[in-house]
Amino acid sequence: MKYFVLITITLILYMGTAMTENAHDHSFKSINEEDIIKLSDYKGKTIVVVNTASLCGFTYQYDGLQDLYNTYSDRGLVIIGVPSNDFGNQESGDNAQVKEFCESTFNITFPLTEKNIVKGKNAHPFFQWSKKELGFIGGVPRWNFHKIIIDKNGNALAGFTALTKPSSRKFINEIEKALSL
């Protein structure tokens, strides 16, 4: 009987540990539709995941995101753009068109995923997870260019709406804090 109790307790502890989820458990298909972007490949780095759209009033934020990537990538910052057509049909092109637009208009060099659903019950699993971690305000994009900061261990730190520019002191302070942890 005591062995049964010990095995049961061990199994419960193992199951609890195995079911702990973080950002590193997620991946996206790359915009080239072939490669997989595994967030686990970025363990030890600070990640900003941002849902994007080419025809949005906030599309100018690509410049600021690229500037951040250029400035902080040597210190371990990774930015991952997630194109989405969830808001106002503002990303209606296919993946090849989105890639071409980002590279030719904004010289984007950070990783881009294929187009994804970022809200609702059919949202990509990463965004379902971020909702659980950061709640409705921080973890759920309510428009394009919602930015989610992930620490080096895969924990969700903060979410910023489209109204927060990549050049915002508050946003940069949060990134610098995460990079220094």
**Smallest Cα–Cα separation from 90: which of 118, 138, 53?**
53
Q: Please give, one letter per residue, the 3-state secondary structure of 52-92.
A: ECCCCCCCCHHHHHHHHHHHHHHHCEEEEEEECCCCCCCCC
Angle between helices 95-106 and 61-72 (to 10 degrees): 70
> Whose structure tokens read 């950061």?
134
Catalytic positions, please?
56
Supply φ then ψ for residue 57, to 5 degrees. -65, -15
